[in-house]
Copies of this chain bind each other. A is one copy, B any other.
């Protein structure tokens, strides 16, 4: 088995290790450190406006000459349901009071933000763009391809992987149920999205598409890397493993929660953002489970809870903020990206002996 694959050649990276585009938790330092260590770093731009995206790209370019990627959320085109928003605002009132916060005004600027991001990516000649929550319109795909930008999609099922391939996406990430953070589901969305384990998902996707497959979900070290390659993946995407590195943008509450959790501590819940995501179970999730109405869709719910979560994290309150983590927190380490990459590669060699 070889760590160098057609995909590593295509992406122009040394090792088949991609850092997941964790919106809200990547820093230019993290992205550049992964690239400089021979992997593919990715700016998690899901929540960025144009200005922020431009400046992050510029800083990454200052820190590395290697290729890197930007991860974007494909707009959901949900509409604001005022009744649901008012009900949720009322429910969240005590939380806002506790943190001394104003009621936010919700708005949907996803589509224009997304289109702006596409233009920035083209202008700044970012070589690789990754999509979560679906597949962009054909017009955008054509535009990006005309600029020789490589496209990564996300799939949580075989049908989603086939849809990515059919739309002209170059590479598909198979996101197993172990993965932390948002589920990328966009076809199989009922019951919190498809929750198929990585061991099952990867080979079934590999058998049903001809584009390269990247394994994601539960992969933390050289064992997971080699296991994924054995399943037919040409690379792995790792989120939680990079979240606790020194260069990550994760707040201390999140880092500590991951570093002190067990494999059974996470749940998949839509209560923070309106889209299902895996995180460490806490009081906010428990309380929201008593909510007796429909939770507003993404990005509405995300906007409604955002300030509460930020304030909680700043105050060190792990019970009122999202604690995204995959199912392998026992394997997380508080180390530098260089040390993590070295550990993965050394362990891979051992496994292959």
A223 touches B217 (CB 8 A): no
Which residue of chain B is the closest to A178 with respect to CB atoms? Answer: B197
- Knowing A263-B157, A330-B204, the reply to whether A199 touches B226 (Cβ < 8 A) is no
Contacts of A157 in B (CB 8 A): 262-264
A41 interface residue (CB < 8 Å to B)? no
Contacts of A1 in B (CB 8 A): 351-353
A331 touches B223 (CB 8 A): no
Cα–Cα, bound, A37→B51 (Å): 63
Cα–Cα, bound, A230→B217 (Å): 16
A231 interface residue (CB < 8 Å to B)? yes
A263 touches B221 (CB 8 A): no
Residues of chain A having any CB pair with chain B under 8 Å: 1, 157-159, 176-178, 188, 194-201, 203-204, 207-208, 217-221, 223-224, 226-228, 230-232, 262-264, 326-328, 330-331, 351-353
Cα–Cα, bound, A230→B177 (Å): 20
B198 touches A199 (CB 8 A): yes
B217 touches A199 (CB 8 A): yes
A199 touches B221 (CB 8 A): no
A264 touches B196 (CB 8 A): yes
B224 touches A264 (CB 8 A): no
Cα–Cα, bound, A188→B264 (Å): 8
A178 touches B158 (CB 8 A): no
Top 3 A-B residue pairs of the complex, sorted by shortest distance between their CB atoms = A197-B197, A199-B218, A200-B218
Cα–Cα, bound, A66→B200 (Å): 31
Cα–Cα, bound, A353→B219 (Å): 22
